[in-house]
Structure 1
Amino acid sequence: MTGYGKGQTAHNGRQVTIEVKAVNHRFLDLNLKLPKGFLFLDDLIRKTLSKVISRGHLDVYVTYDNQSEDKGSYICNNQLGKDFYFLGELLSREIGIENDLTISSIMKAPDVLERVMPEENEEELKNLVVLSLASALTSLEEMRIAEGDEIKKDLALKLDILKKMRDEIESLSPKVTVDYKEKLTARISEYLAMPELDEQRIATEVALFADRSAIDEELTRLKSHFKQFDDLLVSEDPVGRKLDFLLQEINRETNTIGSKANFIEITNLVLKMKNEIEKIREQVQNIE
């Protein structure tokens, strides 16, 4: 599921901000951006995230702001600054354009001015990160729960549609054999041009057809799968993968019904069910 969370913690003039952006993904995929000096916390952050979230692509941004009195100092590479100036002079004479380099522009050149940061207390940084990450995940979870509730409502509505179509198929299934018997009798009568037909033979053929086209077991299994789906929708545990597997079973039973029941009305219902199953499958990809 998608979501966004932000956490911020400050102590002794030092502030850590963590932003977590989540989008749908079949597996857990982490993209972590850390400031300089925070690499030692990479593993801690990843383990914390994986304990809370099992599916989704996460972009995690950690920023650090040191506003304490001991916030570092700057050193200037004088020789490098001189080199920039003299090279500028040389180039200006070569091409006949006035050298307009200023002290300000020279100091902005790469590596001329370098900030030297004080040695940080790793334990203090760790505490700031832990607190900020917990706050960000709480915020993210609130958004994900709200989205999850809406998805569950939508899935429940779509499942009700499947249940109704399954019940329609069940009510139509007795007509399949009757329809086959009528068509078989008409064909035999037409081909043989006989006013009297062998009812016993027709009954045998119809019985064989009824056995081949029986969908009672598939309908029963569908009913069971729907019940399991309902139960998973109210579960507090991560159910995304279970729902995905259950949908595969529902789709398989629906396909079997379509191949066995040689009846146009049932075929049309099966096609509608498959379309609805695909819609549900797309939504299930958003569930952890």
Structure 2
Amino acid sequence: MNSMTGFGRGIVTTEAGSFQVEIKTVNTRYCDITIKSPKQFNIFEDKVRRLIQSAFQRGKIEVSILYKESGEQEKDLSMNRALCGQIKQFLVEEGFYADVKEVPLSAIMSISSDWITVEEPPTDEEAIGRALEEATKLAIDGVLTMRAKEGIAMKADIAKRLEGIETLFAYMESRRDVALAHHEERLLQRIQTMLDKVGVDFQEERFMQEVAILSDKVDISEEIARFASHVVQLKEILEEEGPIGRKLDFLLQEMNREVNTMGSKGNEITIVDTVVQLKVELEKVREQIQNIE
């Protein structure tokens, strides 16, 4: 079980310079990848994206590619002497200087720098691609390690929450028959009072049938059975390998639905109070599940 929150950094140094890839992930419903890189590395973004997609199923993933040029690289300088001469002549003709020999470099540069060019050394795209791939894999490993570590902590927290949920659920289950008996007793008393007021004879068999029908509307036996089954399923899913976040999210929705139904049917204060506590604990579990891949 992995969290969707993580960070990793990979640095690879070559003769051309230092390549750094940083990956930051946070929770989101789908896999959303954003890559920021220097312009000259745009051609490698698809390759980086494929590596990311193969490693992560869900999460908002921000990738940052940084490059620091090596100071050892030699660059070729070339000068357009004709253009340089034209600029000097222009400055003399305009009266700024008396002779072309007096024109300083700063004056020439203030007019134009196009007369001198810096030629970058030839780019080895294959070597750059390998360096970026290696740096990306290192960053991915860092993210996976962090996500796995946080996933262990989240799993322990959810397991602890489940223990509390099971305790509350067991108490609610123990009160089910008592609550139903109290409901039937109150119902009998109310109906008997009404019959006495209108002077209608008490017909026990039919009377008990009606009570049973009305009591069935507040019986939470089915909801209890389904909720218990969901708890077992949740525990099993927590032990599965791979992405389980969506499964857990769906299952928790079902558990909340059963608890809400119990609350609407509940006719005893102890059951209503327990429903409130269950909803609080389920919400805490839901918050954790939102960050599970």
Q: TM-score range by the shorter chain?
A: 0.7 to 0.9
User: Does structure 1 conserve the Cα–Cα contact (< 8 Å) formed by 2:184 and 2:215?
Assistant: no
Q: Following the alignment from structure 1 to structure 2, what is the Cα–Cα distance between the partners of residues 31 and 245?
A: 28
CA distance in 1, matches of 2:236, 2:114: 62
Instruction: Give distance in 2, aligned partners of 1:3 and 1:36.
Output: 26
Find the partner of 1:26 among 26, 29, 40: 29
Contact 1:180/1:206 (8 A) holds in 2: no
Q: Which of residues 281, 287, 293 is equivalent to 1:276?
A: 281
Quote the RMSD (CA, aligned, Å): 3.0
- Corresponding residue for 2:245? 240
**Cα shift readout 1:67-95 (whole Å, capped 9, x = no counterpart):** 1643545678988xx8xxx9xxxxxxxxx
Structure ID, larger Rg: 2
- Aligned pair 1:209/2:217, yes or no? no
Quote how far apart the aligned CAs of 1:267 are.
1.9
Which residue, 224, 234, 242 being the options, matches 1:229?
Answer: 234
Q: Distance in 2 between matches of 1:71 and 1:5?
A: 32
User: Given the two structures, how large is their TM-score scaled by the length of structure 1?
Assistant: 0.81
| Gap regions ≥5 residues in structure 1 | 87-101
Mapped to 2, the partners of 1:114 and 1:222 lie a distance apart of: 75
Q: SS at the partner of 2:275?
A: helix
Which residues of 2 match residues 34-113 of structure 1 at below 5 A? 34-67=37-70, 69-73=72-76, 103=106
Q: 1:181 aligns with which of 175, 180, 184?
A: 184
Q: Identify which of structures 1 and 2 has the higher relative contact order when contacts are C-alpha pairs closer than 8 Å and 6+ apart.
A: 2
Q: Between the two proteins, what is the percent identity of the paired residues?
A: 34
TM-score (normalised: structure 2): 0.80
Which of residues 130, 134, 143 is equivalent to 2:133? 130
What is the alpha-carbon distance in structure 1 between the residues aligned to residue 29 and residue 54 of structure 2? 16
Q: Residues 246, 286 of structure 1: CA spacing in aligned structure 2 closer, same or farther, 3 A cutoff?
A: same
Gaps of 5+ in 2: 92-104
Report what 1:117 is aligned to. Answer: 120
Query: 1:151 is matched with which residue: 154, 178, 182?
Result: 154
User: Aligned residues, how many?
Assistant: 267
User: Which of 248, 265, 269 does residue 270 from structure 2 map onto?
Assistant: 265
